[in-house]
Structure 1
Amino acid sequence: MKNWIGIIAIFICSSMFAQQTNFKFDFGGSRTQEGFIPITEHSKFDRKMGYGFMDISGLKSVDRGGDALTGDYITSDKPFYFSVVIPEGNYDIKLNLGDSKGASQTTVRVENRRLMLDDVKTKEGEVVEKIITVHIKDSILRNQEGVEIGIVKLKPRERKYLHWDNLLTIEFNDKAPKVCAIILQPNKTAKTIYLTGDSTVVDALYEPWASWGQILPYFFIPEEVAVANYAESGETLKAFEDRHRIDKIWNKIKPGDYLFIQFGHNDQKSGNSTKSGYRKRLKEWINKAKQLNVTLVLVTSMNRRVFDKNNKIVNTLDDFPDAMREIAKEENVYLIDLNAMSKTLFEAMGPENSKKAFVYYPANSYPNQPDALADDTHFNTYGAYELAKCVVKSMVDQKLPLSKFISKNYKGFDLNKPDPFEKFHWPESVFMESLKPDGN
């Protein structure tokens, strides 16, 4: 009888924990700050417990003495991942990074390699506090009362993603990542930017693939803005509807939030013209957003890496960019002309150097990659970073309301002078795959 009581008690506690939205974790050794949950190098993730590391191999707890919270930390010589079971929503995450008796260098990403903090360096004896704001989503459709009414139809490959798994996952990376503490709490006031689109927008899980959508959060002030990326590889406007991805957004988006829409690559490839559903659906989405008092931002699809004999970019997107430009004007909504900006950017790079922004790699650069990769549509992390800066530049230049929330990480951008590839900083994640994303 006592055993059953114990089992029931554990079940109740774990169920309550799964619904918890505020957490305080003290990373390090045996000393724990009062009111914090202790996390050591042995804290392997347990869904019943509700938190832990994805992989504990290589983790090391270091205790320098002194303050219980900041005097110890966890580190590793490879990227490590900490997950927490929390309901969907926006969260502020306070991170204590550093070493009370040494230096540190940490890059922080969340979920599918979504960039939040880049190359945070602390000098010897310094522990810094950083805040990031993260959107967590699940695949359940709920009405305004929170009642489950359906699901998003995920593709098989999406079931491996870290952003549909009912967890927050934080990636700690770089040469000397040292994590002292994490505090999580809901953010009910941040404006949310919902991103819709295809493989050029999606939060890509695997190196070397990347998109501008997963870099965008890095350029916004935390606590003020959360980026919610619902894009997926291979999607068209119609497929986005058919799989209920847009329904998920309509059920969550609030007045004052933003909806970014970028489709064209796959709509064109699916055999559609701009007159056979594309314009109609786009205008239906715009009307719905206006009814919900949501701010629309249309984004024209960026160019593919196709040059003519004069080293000028060739339009391979038919009239889809023009259609989006026309609709933005007709409906009086914001437009980010990434198509035009990418043309300038790629031409400034030139035919050969532009390969550094795309997935161009010799054979055996990545696991299970016997053949060279030469993809003129999909970007690596450097290319994604440059395109994200294009998107931010357009917001700033047009003085979109969102521009007042752009962080100091954005220092301006000249399309004719791309950032040097050699100076781009991106320590690779552990997730790698040579199979290209859906769509082209």
Structure 2
Amino acid sequence: MINIDQSQFKAVALAMGLMIIGDPMPASAQTFTFSGLDATVPANTAYDAARGYGFVLLPDRNAQAFSLRAAPGDYRVSVTLGGPKTSRTSVWVEDRRLMAGPVDLKAGETRTLTFTVNVRDTALIRQETDPDAPQVRLRGDDAAGFNWDDQLTLIVSGGKPSLNAITVEPVTARRILLAGDSTVTDQAGGDYASWGQMLPRFLSPDLSVANHARSGETMKSFLTSLRWDKLLSEIRPDDVVLIQFGHNDEKKQWPRTYAAPEGAYSAYLTAFVADVRLRGGWPVLVTPVARRTFKGNRIENSHAGYDNAVRATAMHLNVPLIDLTRQTSQFYEALGPELAPLAFADHNQEKTHHNAYGAYMIACFVAHDLANMSVLKVKAAADLPVCSPEAPGDPHAFVITPADWPQMRVQADQAPEPTPVK
């Protein structure tokens, strides 16, 4: 009798595009309607694992979240908004990735939006050196979130949200994969946000953004937690991988993961680039976002050495570069010491982590850079707004209001960043 590891069989089968009996991936498009006489899902339908869909409760109940059981992969999602009353709706997925909005509609108006959602779990393909079925090593509140489960979760928020219908269909999509730390990850609680979770709103709806970043990560810990293995397993030829580290790699008080910019840090960047290229993907190196460290009216570079290491590695390896250290410094300086705090979390007290406004602006900068790199052939959203780090929008007039910002956690899983000891 041959013993078959089921988690390994499932991972291999999914990689080959095979369906498995009992697998939750829908074989064809599924439609759920929530209003009118033809509603298929009553408003009080709670998520049930046996049924495979339903609403889930969010901590502050300031948004509606609908979950559909779904296997790892990419899904084309169409949502119809609006109805007989005026409405204002923002659309998010998983752990608060912004897909669209806010969408303001008059009474009687409806609008259908289509985008692509990436779903993943922690499973990795087992190899002969693994004593057990390998899994991505989650920590913090990862396991309680919506990014690493067996569901596709869609959230609508706003002062008057209106969700009429959802259609979900599995697709094969080009992926934009993100590796990084807390300034890139899907921040799920409080007023914390990152540019990675805002990026989908600014890119073509045919692209699937898979954000593998995690708070506190370094390049070394991204390897030892098997997050890099998981990301590599999801790369297909022509996919794009954005790599931004540095905030934590530079902390000498973390000796197990410290990497000097002139040595190990550059070597790890080189290895990551080689890994992506081996799989036919396009690596893009990103310098770390600047901290809000003003000296007078100018930003002092708290990443000195690390941003230059990224630039030098990109030039040496002929890799596309997004220079967020430079752009975010320009962004804060353009706002000035008085307004720059309005781009930061913890009620504007943070100097590292952003709020929705700061993250939204930085994601817009990233999207413009990606679209302008002709070799990548990455399409931006049709309604990509004009944004410039030297002429940012007024934070007081930011399009996303507190009512549009859903809470996926009881509180933010993001402690203030410790001061780096260099």
Normalising by structure 2, report the TM-score.
0.86
- Whole-angstrom CA distance in 2 between matches of 1:435 and 1:183: 32
2:18 maps to which residue? Answer: none
SS in 1 for 2:350: strand
Post-superposition CA distance 1:174-212 (Å, at most 9, x none): 122222211100111x21011000000000111200000
Aligned mate of 2:54, from 52, 55, 78: 52
- Whole-angstrom CA distance in 2 between matches of 1:291 and 1:217: 26
2:85 maps to which residue? Answer: 102
- Seen in structure 2, the aligned counterparts of structure 1 residues 281 and 166 have a Cα distance that, compared at 3 Å, is same
Q: Which amino acid aligns with 1:422?
A: H
Which aligned pairs between 1:339-350 and structure 2 lie closer than 5 A? 339-350=325-336
Structure 1 gaps of 5+ residues are: 1-14, 33-37, 59-76, 362-372
Q: Which amino acid aligns with 1:342?
A: T
Aligned mate of 2:283, from 260, 272, 296: 296
- Whole-angstrom CA distance in 1 between matches of 2:169 and 2:415: 34
1:429 aligns with 2:412: no
- Whole-angstrom CA distance in 2 between matches of 1:409 and 1:234: 33
SS in 2 for 1:24: strand
Which aligned pairs between 1:62-211 and structure 2 lie closer than 5 A? 78-99=62-83, 101-142=84-125, 149-188=133-172, 190-211=173-194
- Whole-angstrom CA distance in 1 between matches of 2:357 and 2:233: 34
Q: Which amino acid aligns with 1:394?
A: D
Which aligned pairs between 1:144-293 and structure 2 lie closer than 5 A? 149-188=133-172, 190-222=173-205, 224-269=206-251, 270=254, 271-293=258-280
Q: CA RMSD in A?
A: 2.3
1:150, distance to aligned residue in structure 2 (A): 1.2
- Whole-angstrom CA distance in 1 between matches of 2:99 and 2:377: 18
SS in 1 for 2:295: coil
- Whole-angstrom CA distance in 2 between matches of 1:55 and 1:285: 39
- Whole-angstrom CA distance in 1 between matches of 2:389 and 2:104: 29
- Seen in structure 2, the aligned counterparts of structure 1 residues 156 and 416 have a Cα distance that, compared at 3 Å, is closer
- Whole-angstrom CA distance in 1 between matches of 2:373 and 2:281: 18
Q: Which has the larger radius of gyration?
A: 1
1:435, distance to aligned residue in structure 2 (A): 5.5
> For the Cα contact (< 8 Å) 2:26–2:170, is it kept in 1?
no
SS in 2 for 1:290: helix
Aligned mate of 2:26, from 20, 32, 39: 20
> For the Cα contact (< 8 Å) 1:359–1:374, is it kept in 2?
yes
> For the Cα contact (< 8 Å) 1:210–1:378, is it kept in 2?
yes
1:71 maps to which residue? Answer: none
Structure 1 or 2: more strand by fraction = 1
Q: Which amino acid aligns with 1:263?
A: F
- Whole-angstrom CA distance in 2 between matches of 1:281 and 1:439: 23
SS in 1 for 2:349: strand
> For the Cα contact (< 8 Å) 2:81–2:164, is it kept in 1?
yes
SS in 2 for 1:156: coil
- Whole-angstrom CA distance in 2 between matches of 1:290 and 1:267: 23
> For the Cα contact (< 8 Å) 1:98–1:127, is it kept in 2?
yes
Larger RCO (CA under 8 A, 6+ residues apart): 2
- Whole-angstrom CA distance in 2 between matches of 1:115 and 1:318: 32
1:103, distance to aligned residue in structure 2 (A): 2.5
Q: Which amino acid aligns with 1:280?
A: A
Which aligned pairs between 1:317-356 and structure 2 lie closer than 5 A? 317-356=303-342
- Whole-angstrom CA distance in 2 between matches of 1:413 and 1:114: 20
SS in 1 for 2:167: strand
- Whole-angstrom CA distance in 2 between matches of 1:423 and 1:400: 35
1:56, distance to aligned residue in structure 2 (A): 9.8
- Whole-angstrom CA distance in 2 between matches of 1:26 and 1:17: 23
Normalising by structure 1, report the TM-score.
0.82
- Whole-angstrom CA distance in 2 between matches of 1:119 and 1:400: 32
2:364 maps to which residue? Answer: 389
- Whole-angstrom CA distance in 2 between matches of 1:301 and 1:19: 37
- Whole-angstrom CA distance in 2 between matches of 1:249 and 1:132: 21
SS in 2 for 1:418: coil
- Whole-angstrom CA distance in 1 between matches of 2:332 and 2:25: 47
Q: Which amino acid aligns with 2:335?
A: M
- Seen in structure 2, the aligned counterparts of structure 1 residues 251 and 94 have a Cα distance that, compared at 3 Å, is same
1:260, distance to aligned residue in structure 2 (A): 0.7
SS in 2 for 1:283: helix
Share of identical aligned residues, percent? Answer: 32
Q: Which amino acid aligns with 1:436?
A: Q
1:139, distance to aligned residue in structure 2 (A): 0.8
1:302, distance to aligned residue in structure 2 (A): 1.2
1:123, distance to aligned residue in structure 2 (A): 2.3
Q: Which amino acid aligns with 1:39?
A: V
